[in-house]
Amino acid sequence: MPVPPGLEAMRVDAGLARLLGLSRTAVSQLTEEGSVLVDGVAVGKSDRLSAGTWLEVELPEPPRPLTIEAEPVEGMEILYADDDVVAVDKPVGVAAHASVGWTGPTVIGGLAAAGFRISTSGAHERQGIVHRLDVGTSGVMVVATSERAYTILKRAFKQRTIDKRYHALVQGHPDPSSGTIDAPIGRHRSNDWKFTVTADGKPSVTHYDTIEAFQSASLLDIHLETGRTHQIRVHFAALRHPCCGDLTYGADPRLAERLGLERQWLHARSLGFAHPADGRWVEIASKYPKDLEDALEVLRSS
What's the pLDDT at 21? 86
As a whole number of angstroms, the distance between CA 302 and CA 133 comes to 31
As a whole number of angstroms, the distance between CA 13 and CA 292 comes to 41
Q: Is 134 a catalytic residue?
A: yes
Contact 189/197 with Cβ under 8 angstroms?
A: no
**pLDDT tens track for 24-66:** 888 898 999 889 999 989 999 999 999 989 999 998 776 666 6
Which ranges in the chain are annotated with CATH 3.10.290.10? 5-57
Contact 79/99 with Cβ under 8 angstroms?
A: no
- Tell me the whole-structure pTM to 2 decimals: 0.77
**pLDDT tens track for 264-287:** 999 999 999 999 999 999 999 999
Which ranges in the chain are annotated with CATH 3.30.2350.10? 63-158, 160-302
Give me Rg for the CA atoms of the chain.
22
Contact 267/232 with Cβ under 8 angstroms?
A: no
Query: Could you tell me where the beta strands, DSSP code E, fall in 43-104?
Result: 55-57, 77-81, 85-90
Largest CA distance in the chain: 68
Report CA 65 to chain centroid distance, whole Å.
21
Please state the CATH superfamily assignment of the domain spanning residues 63-158 in this structure.
Answer: Pseudouridine synthase (3.30.2350.10)
First to last CA, the chain: 65
Pairing of strands 138-144, 266-274: parallel
List Cα–Cα distances, 41 to 1, 11, 36, 228, in angstroms.
14, 16, 8, 42
The highest-level CATH class for domain 5-57 is: alpha beta
Residue 47 gets which letter from DSSP? S
Does domain 160-302 fall under CATH 3.20.20.150? My reply is no
As a whole number of angstroms, the distance between CA 257 and CA 261 comes to 6
Contact 116/86 with Cβ under 8 angstroms?
A: yes
Phi, psi of 282 (to 5 degrees): -120, 130
Given the residues 84, 89, 134, 246, the one annotated as active site: 134
Flag residues of the chain having pLDDT under 70. 62-67, 125
